[in-house]
Amino acid sequence: MVNSLQSLFGAIAHARDEQELRLHVMVKVGEYFAAQRWGLFFFDQLLPPTGTTIQGILKLVLSTEHNPVLRYLVEHHAPIHEELLLPPGMWNTICPRFDHGHVMAGPIVGNGCLIGGVGLTRAWLSPAFNAQELADLSALCLHLSTRLTTIRSQPTQLNSVEMNRLTPREIQIAELVAQGLTNAQIGTALWITENSVKQALKRIFRKIEVSSRAELVGRLFSNTRHSTASSNN
């Protein structure tokens, strides 16, 4: 086993911010559950889907009317996987992606409200999530919710006046660029498409008047410690 449940509890407790939880701790969580994709998402940070075929699929998947797993999460604030709710093969009609053949989700709760969740997926040919994994996710969500409540209660400071020109989602993407992630990795971390990342970066470049990722990092994060940004535009 890559990580023990106790080691994951410790990693959550020592995470300094949401980005560390999203980028580093969630990687360990994904490995623990042998997931093909994973993510930590917040309802106030999800972009409204529009337009393209992929975005149309996302709109359905993020709809409580269409997605029974999300509906269960919203109504019960408890972990769930698709096989507990649906007949075999039915999930494919809701989310046809090959790497989302099996899905398990758990709640992130803050101040008595559901603020987000943890999502894990496996390909169709992989085994479905089981009862023990559901119990483990329930424990992890408790620790994540507690840590996030603490982190979000701490005052935050923008590193530059340039940040004021950006939306919360654009700031997220800029921070991930500063961590050295590629567009594809950013899309995975935020559960959006790689093209959405590219379009957001174009808007960011235009707003803060830069022409490269390196300039972006220098403009926004000159007073903070970040790894070198990737040159992958």
52 near 42, Cβ under 8 Å?
no
| Structural domains of the chain, ranges and CATH numbers in brackets | 5-153 (3.30.450.40), 161-220 (1.10.10.10)
Identity at 93, one-letter amino acid code? T
Helix, coil or strand: residue 3: coil
108: β partners: 116
Mean pLDDT of the region 127-149: 96
Q: Tell me the angle at which helices 194-208 and 168-178 cross, rounded to the nearest 10 degrees.
A: 100
- Over 60: is that where the pLDDT of 49 sits? no
- Over 70: is that where the pLDDT of 229 sits? no
How far is C-alpha 112 from the geometric centre of its chain's CA atoms? 21
Question: For residue 231, what pLDDT band results from cuts at 50, 70 and 90?
Answer: very low
107 near 143, Cβ under 8 Å?
no
Q: What is the mean pLDDT of the chain?
A: 82
Q: Global pTM?
A: 0.65
pLDDT at 153: 73
Helix, coil or strand: residue 17: coil
* Interacting residues of 87 by C-beta distance below 8 A, sequence separation 6+: none
